[in-house]
Amino acid sequence: MKEKLKIDIVSDVVCPWCTIGYKRLEKAISELGIENQIDIAWQPFELNPNMPAEGQNVIEHITEKYGATLEQQKASQQHMKAAGDELGFKFDYFDDMRMVNTFDAHILLEYAKDFNKQTELKMQLTKAFFSDRKDVSKKEILKEALLKVGLNAEDALAKLDNEEERLDIRNKQNYWKSLGVNSVPTIVFNRKSAVTGAQPVDTFKQVLSELITAE
């Protein structure tokens, strides 16, 4: 039996284009009927590694970080909502939305990998943040997501205070940065080639077809 195509998705839980990119990739995989030939792993990247515990208003944050005007941000949000609607994902932007710290979420995603629940947990956390107006830096919200995907919340949350687990995530983040990953999503195929950004479904289909044929 030939080896599965390994796909690493370097992304953050609060990155809208990461969600759109994954949903388009998922659609491409489904349309090609190659679900059983793909092995997806999520890799940690923090858009805002220095985000304080209280978070920051999204509009303020984007203005500060990218210099985008309110009009530009509203247009961008509409664009993302439309892209999400096409893929069956709801982006619910609101005036008091806050950008939050996601480091703990990445520790839990690493934990979920051992139980083949990484993608499920990733989408649960993303949905909590973008669709359900929830703060994914808070332990009760993380616990809720863990339980929804059938993981042992107590076991998983204990990892958050483990220095080795925290160091492991830092090392993984640094590994991808050392390879030049500085924007997300970055989607890496067999650790040999990569595409960045939320590419169209047809682009993903073309890339996947070529790689599966070459395997």
pLDDT, position 1: 58
Residues with pLDDT less than 50, the chain: none
pLDDT, position 161: 95
Q: Does some domain include residue 160?
A: yes
| Tokens of residue 200, six digits | 């169209």
Domain harbouring 148, CATH code: 3.40.30.10
Q: Which residues form the domain of 131? A: 5-48+102-209
- The model carries a pTM of 0.95
Q: Does some domain include residue 62?
A: no
pLDDT, position 3: 87
Q: Does some domain include residue 158?
A: yes
| Of 20, 44, 68, nearest in space to 181 by CA | 44
Q: Who contacts 134 (Cβ-Cβ below 8 Å, separation ≥6)?
A: 128, 141, 144
CB 12 within 8 Å of CB 45: yes
> Computed over its alpha carbons, how large is the radius of gyration of the chain?
17
pLDDT, position 215: 63
Cα 46 to the chain's mean position, in Å? 10
Cα-based angle 49, 150, 164 (whole degrees, multiple of 5): 40
pLDDT, position 214: 80
33: amino acid identity, one letter: G
pLDDT, position 20: 98
Q: Does some domain include residue 173?
A: yes
Domain count, the chain: 1
Q: Does some domain include residue 80?
A: no
Q: Does some domain include residue 63?
A: no
Q: Does some domain include residue 156?
A: yes
pLDDT, position 50: 92
Q: Does some domain include residue 192?
A: yes
Residues 17, 167: Cα–Cα separation, whole Å: 27
CB 97 within 8 Å of CB 57: yes
φ/ψ of 43, rounded to 5, equals -115, 145
Give the C-alpha distances (Å, rounded to integers) separating 212 from 26, 39, 73, 103. Answer: 15, 12, 38, 34
pLDDT in tens, 3-60: 899 999 999 999 999 999 999 999 999 999 999 999 999 999 999 999 998 999 999 9
Q: For residue 81, how many C-alpha atoms fall within 13 Å in the half-sphere facing its CB?
A: 10
